[in-house]
Amino acid sequence: MDTNKPSQEHKPGLACPECGFFINMSIEDILYRTGIQCASCGLQLTMNRNMSNEALQALQNLDTAIKNVNHLKQKYK
């Protein structure tokens, strides 16, 4: 096991295309940040938001649904 890499278990993100280091990222990171940088090699990852508009809208809908479910779970605890 590579001890230089954070555990990927149950964490959203992706492997850096340059060095393979696991980059943690949340739905909010994808929706609201202009770029994400690899903590290992410094590669800056960006997204063409115009070309990705449909995917971003679907992700926004998913984020809203997750927040609604979490709110209901808290309400009926």
**Is residue 39 located within the same domain as residue 76?**
no
- The whole-angstrom separation of Cα 22 and Cα 14 is 6
Amino acid at 25: M
**Is residue 11 located within the same domain as residue 29?**
yes
As for how many domains the chain has, the answer is 2
Q: What is the pLDDT of residues 17-45, one digit of tens each?
A: 999 999 999 999 999 999 999 999 999 99
**Is residue 16 located within the same domain as residue 27?**
yes
Q: Give the Å distances, CA to CA, from 39 to 9, 11, 17, 55, 67.
A: 18, 16, 13, 25, 28
**Is residue 1 located within the same domain as residue 37?**
yes
pLDDT band at 10 (very low <50, low <70, confident <90, very high): confident
What is the domain extent for residue 14?
A: 1-46
**Is residue 55 located within the same domain as residue 42?**
no
**Is residue 20 located within the same domain as residue 54?**
no
**Is residue 33 located within the same domain as residue 60?**
no
What does pTM read for this prediction? Answer: 0.70
